[in-house]
């Protein structure tokens, strides 16, 4: 596949998959900042945002590119947070942001500086609680990464977001993704790649290794060439999604492997990497606010990637109302089974850690399925019982109501055992 690069000097065209990515990025950034500025005692929040493929700032149609989206949402979030805090009688929060903008194209950077300047000037003139420092780099991302690390380390930034919206799949090394996720206490990555490029890469891999990688997907290595022609089929999406997850699952504790939903097929993936379940929880909720922007094929409860095309009828999950109704049904069945894997009880915090790498479900649907479940109860730290979904807290305990057995105590008689 020949990569399609944007022509910023003459004005780049905004394609539909990019429009959908930008809407998700915009809404997640806002939610992220609102959540991180909620502490009543808080007066300051520091973060760094790195855009590794920043582009030229605005598209030919006038729509904002990702760097301008970042500044707009910083402004929006700081205004919203401080209005809310004022209503509660709390002090204001000041936000300090280092914005690192890199692009290999000199034309893109010159265009970006022109478009970003008036937005920066407006913030400086009207937002005393928002302080933004912008650093520009003009290199391929991998070449720029050491300088980016130096900037982050010099500022001792703990809260870091990376937006890596590359063309193709080959401009960000998997080892770099791992390094990013391990380098900072609170870090997240938005990572884009074209599945066509990954399929082409897999075809060039060692045949025996490739066969081993694809065995559990029930895909023969020789069938990879035919996947491109089937990109509009749900079964193709299900198989490709699992390839994506298996490829990147070791990069971070929480990996969101959903494709961007396109009518002509699932060619582009927007992956969210996070170190904490709360980030994935918020991301799932944002996807449901943008129903049909991303797509999942398979199960919609827990164990979302366990769909077996040989034995099950899969379904397309578009994070919409019908998908949520389907998810509720599967969650009612899945949740008590997961609790039983721990015995008969599990802390809610541990439950969240267990599920948010394996479900596309909205947090509200997870909570409602817990409350509606005839086999599960929620106990407070004091021993009381929760009866409303919106009151479930991370310090609570999920417990099986009765001693319903989902698994045998032992799979069979012990071998080699002897009595004393």
Phi, psi of 16 (to 5 degrees): -60, -40
- pLDDT, residue 235, reads 58
Strands 259-260 and 315-317, sheet pairing: unpaired
Q: Which comes out higher in pLDDT, residue 22 or 135?
A: 135
As a whole number of angstroms, the distance between CA 81 and CA 50 comes to 23
What does the CA dihedral 397, 403, 404, 409 come to, rounded to 10 degrees? 100
Q: Can you tell me the mean pLDDT for 4-29?
A: 77
- pLDDT, residue 238, reads 60
Structure tokens at 328: 């509720």
Q: Is 359 exposed, middle or buried (0-12, 13-18, 19+ CB in 10 A)?
A: buried
- Residue 182, C-beta contacts closer than 8 angstroms, at least 6 positions apart: none
The least confident of 5-19, 59-73, 87-101, 267-281 is: 5-19
The least confident of 37-41, 259-263, 282-286 is: 259-263
| Of 319, 308, 302, residue with least CA distance to 357 | 302
The answer to whether the beta carbons of residues 163 and 66 sit under 8 Å apart is yes
The least confident of 18-22, 366-370, 393-397 is: 18-22
The answer to whether the beta carbons of residues 136 and 101 sit under 8 Å apart is yes
The mean pLDDT value of the chain amounts to 80
Q: Is 304 exposed, middle or buried (0-12, 13-18, 19+ CB in 10 A)?
A: buried
- pLDDT, residue 403, reads 60
184-213 confidence digits (pLDDT tens): 989 999 998 776 655 555 555 565 665 565
- pLDDT, residue 308, reads 43
Q: Can you tell me the mean pLDDT for 402-406?
A: 59
Q: Can you tell me the mean pLDDT for 373-381?
A: 92
- pLDDT, residue 345, reads 92
Phi, psi of 298 (to 5 degrees): 140, -135
| Of 314, 312, 319, residue with least CA distance to 233 | 314
Q: Which comes out higher in pLDDT, residue 287 or 128?
A: 128
The answer to whether the beta carbons of residues 177 and 189 sit under 8 Å apart is yes
- pLDDT of 362 over the 60 cut: yes
pLDDT band at 149 (very low <50, low <70, confident <90, very high): very high
pLDDT band at 61 (very low <50, low <70, confident <90, very high): confident
- Residue 170, C-beta contacts closer than 8 angstroms, at least 6 positions apart: 197, 201
Q: Can you tell me the mean pLDDT for 86-109?
A: 95
3-state secondary structure of 268: strand
As a whole number of angstroms, the distance between CA 236 and CA 297 comes to 9
- pLDDT, residue 42, reads 94
pLDDT band at 267 (very low <50, low <70, confident <90, very high): low
pLDDT band at 14 (very low <50, low <70, confident <90, very high): confident
Q: Which comes out higher in pLDDT, residue 228 or 52?
A: 52
The least confident of 9-23, 60-74, 327-341 is: 9-23
Number of Cβ atoms within 10 Å of the Cβ of 339: 23
Instruction: Give me the long-range contacts of 252-257 (CB less than 8 A, separation at least 24).
Output: 252/177, 252/181, 252/189, 253/357, 254/279, 254/280, 254/356, 254/357, 255/357, 256/280, 256/283, 256/284, 257/305
Q: Can you tell me the mean pLDDT for 40-52?
A: 96
What does the domain layout of the chain look like in residue ranges? 16-298, 324-400
Helices (H), 88-223: 106-126, 141-154, 174-183, 195-203, 207-214
Percentage of residues of the chain with pLDDT beyond 90: 45
CATH class for the region spanning 324-400: mainly alpha
Angle between helices 363-372 and 277-289 (to 10 degrees): 100
- pLDDT, residue 226, reads 44
As a whole number of angstroms, the distance between CA 255 and CA 196 comes to 20
The answer to whether the beta carbons of residues 338 and 302 sit under 8 Å apart is yes
- pLDDT, residue 357, reads 78
Q: Can you tell me the mean pLDDT for 402-416?
A: 53
- pLDDT, residue 168, reads 58
CATH class for the region spanning 16-298: alpha beta
As a whole number of angstroms, the distance between CA 9 and CA 48 comes to 28
322-359 confidence digits (pLDDT tens): 878 888 888 888 899 889 888 889 999 999 998 887 78
Strands 130-137 and 94-102, sheet pairing: parallel
- pLDDT, residue 312, reads 43
As a whole number of angstroms, the distance between CA 51 and CA 70 comes to 9
The answer to whether the beta carbons of residues 316 and 298 sit under 8 Å apart is no
What does the CA dihedral 251, 303, 361, 16 come to, rounded to 10 degrees? 60
The least confident of 27-31, 138-142, 169-173, 301-305 is: 301-305
């Amino acid at each position: 596949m020949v990569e399609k690069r944007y022509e910023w000097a003459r004005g780049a065209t905004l394609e539909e998959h990019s429009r959908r990515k930008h809407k998700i990025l915009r809404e997640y950034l806002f939610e992220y900042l609102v959540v991180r500025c909620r502490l009543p005692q808080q007066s300051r929040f520091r973060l760094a945002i790195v855009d590794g493929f920043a582009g030229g700032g605005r598209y030919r149609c006038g729509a904002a590119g990702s760097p301008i989206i970042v500044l707009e949402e910083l402004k929006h979030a700081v205004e919203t947070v401080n209005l809310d805090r004022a209503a509660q009688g709390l002090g204001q929060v000041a936000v300090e942001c280092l914005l690192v903008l890199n692009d290999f194209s000199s034309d893109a950077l010159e265009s970006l500086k022109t478009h970003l300047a008036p937005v920066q000037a407006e913030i400086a003139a009207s937002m005393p609680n928002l302080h933004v420092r912008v650093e520009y780099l003009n290199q391929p991302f991998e070449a720029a990464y050491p300088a980016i690390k130096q900037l982050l380390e010099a500022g001792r930034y703990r809260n870091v977001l990376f937006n890596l919206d590359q063309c193709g799949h080959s401009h960000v090394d998997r080892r770099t993704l791992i390094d990013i996720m391990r380098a900072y206490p609170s870090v997240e990555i938005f990572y884009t790649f074209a599945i066509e490029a990954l399929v082409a890469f897999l075809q060039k891999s060692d045949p025996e290794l490739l066969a081993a990688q694809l065995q559990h997907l029930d895909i023969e290595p020789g069938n990879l060439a035919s996947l491109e022609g089937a990109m509009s089929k749900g079964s193709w999406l299900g198989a490709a999604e699992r390839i994506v997850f298996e490829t990147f699952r070791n990069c971070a504790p929480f990996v969101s492997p959903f494709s961007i939903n396109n009518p002509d097929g699932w060619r582009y993936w927007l992956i969210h990497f996070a170190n904490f379940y709360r980030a994935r929880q918020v991301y799932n909720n944002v996807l449901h606010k943008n129903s049909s922007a991303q797509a999942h094929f398979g199960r919609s409860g827990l164990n979302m990637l366990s769909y077996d095309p040989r034995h099950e009828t899969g379904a397309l999950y578009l994070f919409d109302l019908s998908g949520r109704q389907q998810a509720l049904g599967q969650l009612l069945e899945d949740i008590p089974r997961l609790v039983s894997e721990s015995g008969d009880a599990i802390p809610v915090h541990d439950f969240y850690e267990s599920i948010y790498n394996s479900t596309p479900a909205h947090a509200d649907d997870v909570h409602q399925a817990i409350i509606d479940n005839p086999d599960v109860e929620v106990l407070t730290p004091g021993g009381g019982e929760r009866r409303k979904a919106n009151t479930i807290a991370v310090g609570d305990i999920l417990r099986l109501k009765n001693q319903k057995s989902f698994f045998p105590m032992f799979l069979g008689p012990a071998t080699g055992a002897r009595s004393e």
